[in-house]
C-alpha cells in the first residue's frame, strides 16, 4: 500500500484563478476566457495504490486511485497473471469528476490488455 498527498502553490499574485496551458476541446477562440482550463492558486491531490501477491507472485491484483480536492478523480484497477514465460496484464483507467486537474481527461477512459513473453 502506498499513499501520498501533495500540492502546488502559484506564487504570482495576478488573481485567484489562472489558466492552464491546455485548450479545452471544442473551443476555437484562444482569446476567449473559457478557452483554457482554470487553475487555482493552491491545488492539492492525493493518491492511493494497493496491491498484493497471490500464487507465489504469479497473480498480482492492484488498484490505484488519484483524487483532486476540486472533485476530479482517477481509478485504475488492474490484474497481472504470469504463466510460465507469459505474462498477461489487464487494466482499465477510469477518469471522472469536475473539469479540473486530472478531470480534464474525463472523456478519455482506456482499457489495456498486454501479453508479454519473457525470455529465459
Please give the mean pLDDT across all residues of the chain.
85
Alpha carbon 110 to its chain centroid, in Å, reads 11
Cell of 37: 482550463
From the centroid of its chain, how far is CA 58? 26
pTM summary value: 0.74
Helices and strands (H, E) in the chain, number of each type: 0, 8
pLDDT of residue 115 exceeding 90, the answer is: yes
Cβ distance 34 to 26 under 8 Å?
Answer: no
Percent pLDDT > 70 in the chain is 78
C-alpha cell belonging to residue 2:
502506498
Contacts of 32 (CB under 8 A, 6+ apart): none
Range of 29-38, 65-74, 96-105 with top mean pLDDT: 65-74
The residue ranges of every structural domain in the chain are 2-117
What is the DSSP code (8-state) at residue 24?
P
Cβ-contact 63, 52 below 8 angstroms: no
C-alpha span between 103 and 92 (Å, rounded): 16
Residue range 47-95, pLDDT digits in tens: 999 999 999 999 999 999 999 888 899 999 999 999 999 999 999 999 9
Amino acid at each position: 500500500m502506498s499513499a501520498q498527498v501533495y500540492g502546488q502553490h502559484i506564487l504570482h499574485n495576478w488573481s485567484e484563478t489562472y489558466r492552464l496551458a491546455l485548450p479545452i476541446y471544442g473551443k476555437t477562440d484562444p482569446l476567449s476566457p473559457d478557452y483554457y482550463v482554470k487553475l487555482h492558486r493552491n491545488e492539492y491531490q492525493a493518491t492511493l495504490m494497493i496491491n498484493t501477491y497471490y500464487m507465489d507472485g504469479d497473480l498480482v491484483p492492484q488498484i490505484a486511485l488519484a483524487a483532486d480536492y476540486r472533485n476530479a478523480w482517477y481509478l485504475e484497477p488492474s490484474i497481472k497473471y504470469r504463466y510460465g514465460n507469459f505474462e498477461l496484464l489487464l487494466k482499465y483507467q477510469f477518469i471522472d469528476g469536475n473539469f479540473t486537474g486530472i478531470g480534464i481527461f474525463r472523456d478519455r477512459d482506456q482499457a489495456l490488455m498486454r501479453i508479454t513473453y519473457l525470455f529465459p
